[in-house]
Amino acid sequence: MDTEILIKENSVTLDEYLAIRKKVKWKELSRIQADKALENCLYYVGAYDGDELVGLGRIVGDGAVICYVQDLIVVPEYQGQGIGSLILNKLVDYVKMIGENNTTLMLCLMCAKGREKFYEKHGFIARPTDMLGPGMIQYLEITD
* Amino acid 49: pLDDT: 97
Residue 96 one-letter amino acid: K
Secondary structure element (H or E) that encloses residue 129, with its range: none
pLDDT in tens, the chain (144 residues): 556 899 999 999 999 999 999 999 998 999 999 999 999 999 999 999 999 999 999 999 999 999 999 999 999 999 999 999 999 999 999 999 999 999 999 999 988 888 889 999 999 888 766 666 767 788 888 887
Q: Which residues have CB under 8 Å from 108's CB, separation 6+?
A: 66, 67, 68, 69, 135, 136, 137, 138
User: Which domains does the chain show, CATH number per domain?
Assistant: 6-142 (3.40.630.30)
